[in-house]
A and B are shown apart, each in its own frame.
Chain A
Amino acid sequence: MLLDPGFRLEIYRRMVRIRLFEEAIIAHHPVGHLSIGQEGAIVGACMALNEDDYVTGTHRSHGHPIGKGADLRPLMAEIFGKRTGICKGLGGSMHLTDTSKGLICESAIVGGGFPLATGAGLSAQVRGSGQVSMCFFGDGATNQGTFSESVNMAAIWKLPVIYFCENNGYAVTTPVSRSHGQPDIARRADGFGIPGVTVDGQDVEAVLAVTREAVSRARAGEGPTLIEARTYRFDEHSNRLAIPIKYREEEEIRFYRETRDPITLYRVVLAEAGLGDDLASVDAEVREAIKDCVAFAKDSPEPEMSDLWDNMYSNPIHLPGKPRP
């Protein structure tokens, strides 16, 4: 795969944006489920999409909009619960849904995004728009009924959907080996008569390559693909979650952090390609952008109580309990 240097640096930029965005969350407003360690899978998948392609995501929601190229200010303001947030402070860390970048849902109900992504694919097909729908989910979500139900519908109707599993090995604390009768998630595709592919989620360009293939199949009307990206979550399930009993070995965490960091691995690739000098300037630029979005979030106003009522319906109707002006 021959990639344009500018495109490769954009891949790198988006991974660093996710990493530093989340490190800023840890430092300034410690809430949420972090994607640190999973940036290669997320960005590799997103970079295979057009801006108007649809995306559904999960409670681990920060990476998807950043991967899709969203503006950082409204995202950070949302983390802080501010009125300038992408969801006006009403959605929060698990729901960074930026519709201007094609996101239609970041569901904190595990498996909730499967039907919605499938419906977006149906919509693209009915309207003949040529768009595809990218459904991000975790390994745990494949045990929800909506996985089987939705993938089956996409298969019978040949919908342009890419089911993209960020398999980080653990559903909170439960390992794949203890929650899946057959732990090879890509093989589940066989049951629906669609292609299933496993890819190294720490290798961003490998992810990009398999996703591009799935996207072109989808656009050609050949139906959905299931992609399983093997990745790893460096931090805990959620950064305020107490873990009373150790469920994964320190050595395992250290192994991934030290040898399987998707950003470090990609820096080596880019340096070998002669782009080493550009990395520092991308890093500096992203650091500035993060500083800027944190300052923006801190300075932004809180939402008003009346915002709750105003965002309920598309047309003004009488709602019980709305405060009188």
Chain B
Amino acid sequence: MNEIRNDTQRLSYLQAIIEAQREEMRRDPNVILMGEDIAVYGAQSLFEEFDASRLRNTPISENSFVGVGIGAALTGLRPIVDLTIASFCYLASDQLLNQAAKLRFMTGGQLRVPFVMRTSTFYNNRTAAQHADRPYPLFINTPGVKVIAPSCASDMKGLLKSAIRDDDPVVVFEDINLWGKKEEVPTDPDFLIPIGEAAIRRSGKDVTIVAFGGTVSHALAAAEALAVDGIEAEVIDLRTIAPMDRDAILTSVAKTGRLVIADNSHNVGSVASEIAAVVVEEGFESLRRPILRVTAPQVHIPYNGTLEKQLFVSKDRIVEAVRMLV
């Protein structure tokens, strides 16, 4: 990563979320946090520091409390709404897709919507199909929202802070498989990672692996394993999935000529599908082999943990895909 780092502290991905919110709430009195049970889960330490009027423990009314956050965003606040589990976004889809995403446009730019919706992709956790969705494609297919999917604690902190300061609605996909993962995270309260910029996590000349969120660590592990056999993979962490950093992908593919995309969406109409389409349209002459997508198959997520694990992106599945190309 390119950011200048001075002081750091060791934080988990989950702690980075709390610290990003704490810093932004200190910086701007218009930042508020809303969500179900936040007083008990996730934001306890914020309740000790901030006025209760800025921390709203909401009733179980997903469509409306998301919309209340949007209404507050239209009128001077910078709300962060914690939607807890990504599968709940369907309940809030009218407010997210019909209101937040469209109000700036539909009012000819009169309104701004500085609204952040945090939600976690709750897969690999034996919670079955109604809790385990990774609905990234729904939001990248919705003009007007920005979507971030950080892969590590530092990125989470820097991107979430950027999201809170952004004047457009931003959906933040947290990955619960990363919650406990710790690393050194900058303490500078103005440490920001710009929305829309991918990061090259590892350089390589033989194949490009594009990943984001929870698939990045698998992509890096796959690259390690492939390196043993002399295959040099370049790993791109998208960090933001809408708007997508097309240039980073196309530049890398121009160098490697091969592309594997690791995305935990269901296969059809996935983020990976979009990336593949972009590369075919704009970088076809660079491709030496077909593009391969490593995604979840088009079946629902089962309760059975042994079966569930096999559906998602893993180091082995990425290695296998790369070996088909190189």
Contacts and interface: CB of A to CB of B under 8 A. Distances in A.
Interface string B221-253: 000000000000000000000010010000000
Interface residues of B, number: 47
A99 interface: yes
A312 B104 contact: yes
Nearest to A308: B105
A120 B73 CA distance: 8
A58 to B, nearest CB: 13
A66 interface: no
Contact of A112 (B99, B107, B146, B243): B99
Interface string A84-128: 011111110001011100001101010010111111111111110
A122 B103 CA distance: 19
B297 interface: no
Contacts of B167: 314-315
Q: How large is the interface on A (under 10, 10 to 19, 20 to 34, 35 or more residues)?
A: 35 or more
Nearest to B58: A153
A85 B110 CA distance: 12
B71 A115 contact: yes
A56 B99 CA distance: 12
Interface string B65-76: 111111111111
A312 B99 contact: no
A97 B107 contact: yes
Interface in B98-138: 98-99, 103-112
B95 A115 contact: yes
Contacts of A127: 30, 76-77
Contacts, number: 167
Given A116-B74, A117-B71, A318 B246 contact: yes
Contact of A87 (B66, B108, B196): B108
Query: 10 closest Cβ contacts across the A-B interface?
Result: A119-B71, A115-B67, A88-B108, A149-B64, A149-B61, A314-B167, A116-B71, A123-B75, A87-B108, A119-B68
Interface of B: 30, 32, 53-54, 56, 58-59, 61, 63-77, 79, 94-95, 98-99, 103-112, 143-144, 146, 166-168, 196, 243, 246
Given A105-B103, A118-B64, A153-B58, 18 more contacts: A85-B108, A86-B107, A95-B106, A97-B111, A112-B98, A115-B66, A118-B67, A119-B79, A123-B76, A124-B75, A125-B53, A133-B71, A146-B63, A149-B65, A150-B64, A153-B61, A153-B64, A318-B243
Interface of A: 54, 56, 85-91, 95, 97-99, 104-105, 107, 109, 112, 114-127, 129, 133, 145-146, 149-150, 152-153, 156-157, 308, 310-315, 317-319
